[in-house]
């Protein structure tokens, strides 16, 4: 069992990480953690080189992600909400999936990507909703990851008043997501 985890939180001991750590306690198999704030991943510059040639002109930590995507069984996006959306730094990481789109759209290459399960963990403390972020996650799952089955999102959306590590409903949802991935 292999799980690809995209972490979009700048806080190494924050609410997002608290929920993720709970999941990692019982997640079976191996995982690759892509940390949008700590890994060296350059954002896409729309240079369009990938329209003609396979891969991306930037050689950085994203290479290991490209190698892991076809073979992993699960994909998790874990992030705080910023203005009801995923953080910009995480969106920069996702922008690098452009080379996969170009392979399909412009070079007409068939991509062999295993069917996957998907999950989302969102935390937030403001009064905005998660709708935009969930739509973004759905697009990433559908167009780039070949996710065919998704678990209901894990959300702790009152973190201004209740830390995620004390949000019993969110913690139960994390345990259910972990069981879903481990099936």
Angle at 49 between CA 43 and CA 50, to 5 degrees: 80
Whether the pLDDT of residue 111 is over 90: the answer is: no
> Quick check: helix, strand or coil at residue 76?
strand
Dist. CA 117–CA 103, nearest whole Å: 23
Predicted confidence at residue 149, as pLDDT, reads: 98
Q: At what angle do helices 131-140 and 88-95 cross, to 10 degrees?
A: 20
What fold, for 2-182? Rossmann fold (3.40.50)
Predicted confidence at residue 46, as pLDDT, reads: 96
Predicted confidence at residue 126, as pLDDT, reads: 86
Question: In which region does residue 80 sit, left (phi positive, over 0), alpha (psi from -120 to 50) or beta (all else)?
Answer: beta
Angle at 29 between CA 71 and CA 156, to 5 degrees: 95
The residue to which tokens 């481990």 are assigned: 182
Predicted confidence at residue 140, as pLDDT, reads: 98
Domain ranges of the chain: 2-182
Question: What number is the average pLDDT over the span 42-49?
Answer: 97
User: Is 7 exposed, middle or buried, given 0-12, 13-18 or 19+ CB atoms closer than 10 A?
Assistant: buried
Write out pLDDT tens, residues 59-79: 999 999 999 999 999 999 999
Q: What tokens were used for 137?
A: 């996650």
Q: What tokens were used for 154?
A: 């894990």
Instruction: Tell me the whole-structure pTM to 2 decimals.
Output: 0.97
């Amino acid at each position: 069992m292999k799980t690809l985890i995209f972490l979009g939180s700048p806080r190494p001991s924050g609410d997002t990480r608290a929920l993720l750590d709970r999941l990692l306690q019982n997640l079976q198999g191996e995982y690759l953690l892509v940390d949008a704030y700590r890994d060296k991943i350059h954002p896409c510059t729309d240079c369009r080189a990938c329209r003609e040639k396979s891969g991306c002109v930037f050689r950085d930590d994203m290479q290991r992600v490209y190698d892991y995507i076809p073979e992993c069984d699960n994909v998790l996006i874990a992030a705080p909400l910023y203005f009801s959306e995923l953080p910009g730094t995480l969106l920069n990481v996702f922008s690098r999936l452009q080379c996969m789109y170009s392979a399909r759209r412009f070079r007409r290459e068939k991509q062999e990507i295993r069917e996957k399960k998907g999950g989302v963990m969102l935390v937030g403390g403001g009064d905005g909703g998660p709708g935009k972020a969930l739509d973004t996650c759905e697009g990433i799952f559908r167009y780039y990851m070949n996710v065919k089955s998704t678990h209901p999102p894990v959300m702790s959306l009152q973190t201004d008043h209740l830390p995620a590590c004390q949000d019993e409903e969110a913690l139960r949802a994390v345990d259910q997501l972990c069981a879903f991935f481990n099936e």
